[in-house]
Amino acid sequence: MFPASHLIVSWLVGQHLTEQRDRRIVTYSGIAPDLDGLTLLAGVEVYGQWHHVLTHGAVAAVGATIVLTALARDRFRVGLLAFLAFHLHLLCDLFGSGTAWGIVYFYPINSDEYVSPIRWELNSWQNLTVTVIALLASGRLAIRNGRTFAETVMPARWDALVVETLRKRFGTAG
């Protein structure tokens, strides 16, 4: 899936948390696996060798969960949801990152690559469907709860403007 889709799906995971800070932490945990995408800065060959390896596995999941949970207010629930969001990212990538990508889940302990027998390309109807469903769910939550996934990356006033626009267009009943 595309990083923006991972962000929206991960934001949905933490929606019952009351603190914006905690929702952000869960969301960031769900996009943390793509930190290994920064290997693209070293070139396409390096990216091809290390993306879905360095931060797409159990060691990275535990590390990210520990670091991010330390920043949380509701540490227990954030820890569980952050770990879940991280693994949801891995699951989405296992199926929806294309037929050439697998996951090296136990790196650096083991370099075996795991692939799903059911995979589809990044630019597929399946990934588009997941993204549209996540957008619709986030729109419904925006109307009901007064916040969107924009709260994780934009100033609060912009998020409030998105909510206001959605409520004007679709009403306030959630």
pLDDT at 174 over 60: no
Average pLDDT over residues 73-95: 97
Q: Measure the CA–CA gap between 95 and 93, rounded to whole angstroms.
A: 5
Q: Give the total number of structural domains in the chain.
A: 1
Q: How far, in Å, CA of 117 to CA of 114, rounded? A: 10
pLDDT at 100: 84
Range of the domain at 121: 3-170
Q: What is the pLDDT of residue 72?
A: 97
Assess whether pLDDT exceeds 80 at residue 173: no
